[in-house]
Amino acid sequence: MRFPPPRSPRRTAALLVAALMGAAAAGCEPAPPKESVSGTVRLSPALPPEARRTRILFIILEPEEGGPPLAVQRLVETKFPYRFVLTADDMMIAGRPFAGRVRVRARLDKDGRAGPFARGDYQGVSALAVAVGARDVEVVIDRAGTAEPQEAAERPAPPPPPPAAQAPAAGEKTITGTIVIAPHLASKAEGKPVLFLIARGERPGPPLAVLGVPNPRFPLRFTLSQENVMMPGAAFEGRVRLVARVDADGAAGPPQPGDLEGEHPGLVPVGAQGVTIVVDREY
């Protein structure tokens, strides 16, 4: 499973402009695709001023019956009110039907990573569940997070021992290690806006956990834990595949030209320490 293709307000605006021009020529209002959920995200006037300065917006379609999100968009530097359209292109799990009843959640996320609803985050949820195909869904971001934010490891550190992962210690629910850049890509990693560390289980499916580090500096030490788990109720346990991506546009999604990526060569047990991931390829 890959992240859904990234969207940006600039790209979405371009699509809407094209639609408006075509509609004007036809003498009618443009309509979103039939298999979509569209509407408007607004900010409550009661939110503090810093809410408008939060750069990352997630728009999430959550099945009414619970479970993994049906679709997600991650947007940067959004202007409000924001008109959104989510389609099958934004699905989390390829091949899953883009259908059913959903709630729409909008979250302004301070650190740009999917994780606990923490201080500095703001979100809102549509009042009612709607069927895929619904238009004019209203979401008001009116709640502020209260949990303590997780500190991202940004300080450079010496490289750890070789890439072999150590055996987990009893009771530990973290994976720690270092991400390094291959020498031939060192200059290209400078100035990239974010690094994503993605943990996937042994079986195909959505990511188990994701850690995002803005403005990364290398070598970069990391700790991946239960706090980074994507799906409510999922446990950070077992063995995982680790991929580190230095992202050129700062949006989660399939690799794009300019992204740098590296993968640990084998499955890593939760509890492992001293894991090294070498970012050694460029898209």
Is residue 165 in a domain? no
Is residue 152 in a domain? no
SS3 label, residue 61: strand
CA angle 38, 107, 2 (to 5 degrees): 75
Domain that holds residue 68: 9-144
pLDDT, tens digit, 9 for 90 and up, residues 82-101: 999 998 887 776 567 889 99
- Does 22 share its domain with 133? yes
Q: What is the pTM of this model?
A: 0.49
**Pairing mode, strands 209-214 and 143-144:** unpaired
Give the CATH number of the domain where residue 120 resides. Answer: 2.60.40
Q: Where are the alpha helices (DSSP H) in 129-226?
A: 186-189
pLDDT, tens digit, 9 for 90 and up, residues 18-42: 444 444 444 455 566 778 999 999 9
Exposure letters 248-280 (e unless 16+ CB within 10 A, then b): bbbbbbebeeebbbbbbeeebbbbbbebbbbbe
- Does 137 share its domain with 184? no
Domain count, the chain: 2
pLDDT, tens digit, 9 for 90 and up, residues 114-168: 567 888 999 999 999 999 999 999 999 999 988 776 543 333 444 444 444 444 4
- Does 26 share its domain with 138? yes
Is residue 182 in a domain? yes
For tokens 């550190």, the residue is 157
Preceding omega of 81 cis (within 30 degrees of 0):
yes
For tokens 């490891």, the residue is 153
- Does 110 share its domain with 214? no
Sign of the CA dihedral running 46, 52, 55, 56: positive
- Does 111 share its domain with 20? yes
- Does 87 share its domain with 214? no
